């Protein structure tokens, strides 16, 4: 894997995120304060488009079943917004998986990510 330029630091405002397609690969670029994050854009739960979700600090919420992930490490904060028996069944059919996060580096005004292509 090699580092690829994904955006300029002034392309995103604080709290903003967007989808980018590179080499046919959908990634999410997000900014929280002065920190940038790059992750898979598809939610590992049901494939929702994360760039259409919400971002609060480093926590991204999927627009489909409101799964939540920490962009710092991909940790699952909440697998779905289901509760009780429905949540138990949902976890049996599709067990929680972390969001794939990519290493980034910022050089001057450019953001680079180590992507799998």
Q: pLDDT tens digit string along 72-109?
A: 999 999 988 888 888 788 777 778 899 999 999 999 99
Token readout for 92 is 């049996």
The DSSP code for 28 is E
pLDDT of residue 25: 87
Number of Cβ within a 10 Å radius of residue 22: 13
Pairwise CA distance, residues 2 & 56, whole Å: 29
The DSSP code for 23 is T
Structural domain boundaries, residue 40: 2-115
Of 54, 51, 84, residue with least CA distance to 66: 54
DSSP helix/strand/coil, 78: strand
Q: Number of structural domains, the chain?
A: 1
Average pLDDT value over all residues in the chain: 92
pLDDT of residue 57: 97
Number of Cβ within a 10 Å radius of residue 48: 19
Higher-pLDDT residue of 7, 80: 7
Is the per-residue pLDDT at 46 higher than 80? yes
Residue 15 belongs to a domain with what CATH number? 2.102.10.10
Question: Could you give the angle at the alpha carbon of 18 between the alpha carbons of 66 and 61, nearest 5°?
Answer: 15
């Amino acid at each position: 894997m090699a580092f690829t330029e994904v955006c300029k630091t002034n392309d995103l405002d604080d709290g903003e995120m967007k989808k980018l397609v590179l080499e046919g690969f959908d990634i999410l670029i997000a900014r929280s304060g002065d920190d940038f994050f790059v992750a898979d854009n598809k939610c590992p739960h049901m494939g929702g488009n994360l760039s259409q979700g919400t971002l609060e600090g480093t926590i991204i919420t999927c627009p489909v079943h409101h799964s939540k992930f920490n962009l710092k490490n991909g940790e699952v904060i909440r697998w779905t917004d289901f509760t009780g028996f429905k949540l138990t069944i949902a976890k049996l059919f599709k067990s929680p998986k972390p969001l794939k996060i990519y290493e980034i580096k910022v050089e001057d005004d450019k953001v680079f990510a180590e992507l799998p292509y």
